[in-house]
Structure 1
Amino acid sequence: MNTYYYYDDKFLLTLYAYLKQTESSIVRGLSDKWEPASIYLEKHSLTHKLIDTLNSNKINPNEKFDNIFYKAYLRVKGKQFITSNEADNIYILLKAINEAIYYKKPQIYILGFLRKEIIKTSNKIRTRISCKKRKLLADNVEHYNQHYNGKFYTIEQIVNGL
């Protein structure tokens, strides 16, 4: 049986924006040299903070979600929760991202596979975020070697609502 872990929108937005930023940076890093992309991702790494938050909610569930009716409402709407299987997959994915960032010469096919898994996971997380406006901001998160004419936002701007 799957256990449901409930998270607030700030955590889910941070997770989604970070995965989106990492995926976009990997794409740009593959078309260019990987080392500058790796340095960029190293500076913007949130893997340890995200892993800590993911694990802390497993041990001490968020008190905001104690109301059984609120939990049922969120589950029916499909918002603000992560199943135990998804949490385990996200944990493994964040560890793999961390290894790829700090390993300066990964194989291209490994980065391609990692990118595919990031896209799949970030799309699942995106559906669980309640705030539509911030989801749109997170779609335009800053990344390595971004277009200079585009409008991009930092993860902090997205989470705090500009």
Structure 2
Amino acid sequence: MPVREILQLGNPVLRQVAHPVADPSAPEVAALVQDLTDTVAHWRETTGYGRAIAAPQIGALKRVVLLRLPGREVWPLINPSIVARSPETPLVWDACLSFLAIFIQVPRHSWITVRYQDLGGQWHETRAGAEDDLAELLQHEIDHLDGILSIDRVVDVRSICTREEFERRYRADSPYGR
């Protein structure tokens, strides 16, 4: 499958709400998941960034998220939704393949419970926390499905920095340094 172009900040498609997937087992969903897998792998290899991607980032307005965490199996989530959240919302560093030149700090819930379907259509729930920064990552990707970008959640514009400055000052202590 081809590596797809990632839409960049300013593209209006990134602000649209993705549609639910009616049949997670459909061949076109498997093809979309493969495109997402190939695309995020390419970005990880060429930039050192890319742990996950949402279908709207490649122009597909479907509720599909793909996680590709180092040392773990590729994990597609179809029709994911957050069904529970911690009351705590610490500030975390956030970056996005749709605007990789900018790093920001945003509040994210310490843990969340996500309900989703697999490629066979089975429903699952998982509780995500600090391990692998999974809670932060899933919140970021599910926001994409609702047309929300992490830059919309910045609480202090003074936290915005360039990729170069982030690399110099903060990467080692962030999830991106692992």
TM-score range, shorter-chain basis? under 0.3
In the superposition, the TM-score normalised over structure 1's length comes to: 0.26
- The structure where strand makes up a greater share of residues is 2
Report which structure shows greater RCO (CA 8 Å, sep ≥6): 1
In the superposition, the TM-score normalised over structure 2's length comes to: 0.24
- Tell which structure's C-alpha radius of gyration is larger: 1
- The structure where helix makes up a greater share of residues is 1
